[in-house]
Copies of this chain bind each other. A is one copy, B any other.
Amino acid sequence: MTNGGDPARTLALLWRDEAAIPRRGPRRGLSLDQVVDAAIAVADAEGLAVLSIRRVAQALDTSPMTLYTHVPGKAELLDLMIDSAYARMPRTGTAGRPWREKLTAVAADNRTLFRDHPWTIAVSTQRPALGPGALGKYEHELAALDGLGLTDVQMDDCLTYLLLFVHAAARTEHEARVVREATAMTDEQWWAAAGPVLGRLVDPDAFPLASRVGAAAGEAHGSAYEPEHVYEFGLGRVLDGVALVLPRHT
């Protein structure tokens, strides 16, 4: 999705490198920040699927091709959007608190990011666009793992693992909401439509465990996936897993 072209060009944009801005020609009618902010506004309000160059240009009351003088392409625009979202996301201060609280706060901050800007869930973070936002985020999150007796590599491992979980949980939660809105059907309505047909087509005795456990899980949390429960259960297991890596298991 992202990672468009020349890394050097993208970095110059991310860090607003003054050496890269041209000295000749007409004045620009728009600043880079205006373009990025408009793109974020569109993505927030209407989703990544609706985000298009034409749509952003429309929001800025200019022509689509004008944007290409500010940004090399859509991929780089996404890089800039992500870094801007990183720079503005919450960074809860937890200095002096127990490590479990610190990591819970890091997870919560990331969850807030994914909820406020669901489009961040879908863009790749491989070869991250290392802008000021991404670096500030990484620095802040590493602080939660500092001083626990972990090696540098272990700190990175644990953080990667934690964020992998939060990202995945946010993705399923977001998918659930998208499906609900796209089908204009709650899970209850969906099951009401699917259940009887399923009952007619499939023999429960052929899938005894699936029938029993599926029914129990469906009854426990409202019918299907309960994102809140997935997150709470998962985060608990993640922290338990990390605890065993710490020199003093606390």
Q: Which A208-250 residues have a C-beta within 8 angstroms of B?
A: 208-210, 212-214, 216-217, 220, 224-225, 229-230, 233-234, 236-238, 240-242, 244-245
Say whether A161 faces chain B, with CB atoms less than 8 Å apart. yes
Minimum Cβ distance to chain B for residue A99 (Å): 15
Give the CA-CA distance A236 to B225 in the complex, in Å. 25
Q: Do A156 and B216 touch across chains, with their CB atoms under 8 A apart? A: yes
Give the CA-CA distance A138 to B160 in the complex, in Å. 28
Q: Which residues of B contact A229 (CB under 8 A)?
A: 157
Say whether A135 faces chain B, with CB atoms less than 8 Å apart. yes
Say whether A59 faces chain B, with CB atoms less than 8 Å apart. no
Q: Do B168 and A124 touch across chains, with their CB atoms under 8 A apart? A: no
Q: Tell me the nearest residue of chain B to A216, going by C-beta.
A: B152
Give the CA-CA distance A178 to B136 in the complex, in Å. 27
If the complex has contacts A135-B202, A168-B167, A216-B156, are A187 and B237 also in contact, measured as CB distance less than 8 A? no
Q: Which residues of B contact A101 (CB under 8 A)?
A: none
Given contacts A152-B213, A237-B241, 14 further A-B contacts (CB under 8 A): A8-B194, A126-B179, A130-B194, A132-B202, A139-B208, A146-B209, A151-B216, A153-B220, A164-B168, A164-B169, A167-B168, A237-B238, A237-B245, A241-B241
Show 28 residue pairs from A and B whose CB-CB distance is below 8 angstroms, ordered by the A residue: A3-B182, A7-B197, A8-B197, A11-B194, A12-B197, A15-B201, A15-B202, A124-B179, A126-B175, A132-B202, A138-B210, A152-B212, A152-B216, A153-B216, A153-B217, A155-B213, A156-B216, A157-B217, A160-B230, A161-B237, A164-B230, A164-B234, A165-B165, A167-B168, A168-B168, A237-B241, A237-B245, A238-B241
Binding site for B on A (CB under 8 A): 3, 6-8, 11-12, 15, 17, 124-127, 130, 132, 135-136, 138-139, 142-143, 146, 151-153, 155-157, 160-161, 164-165, 167-169, 171-172, 175-176, 178-179, 182-183, 187, 190, 193-194, 197-198, 201-202, 207-210, 212-214, 216-217, 220, 224-225, 229-230, 233-234, 236-238, 240-242, 244-245
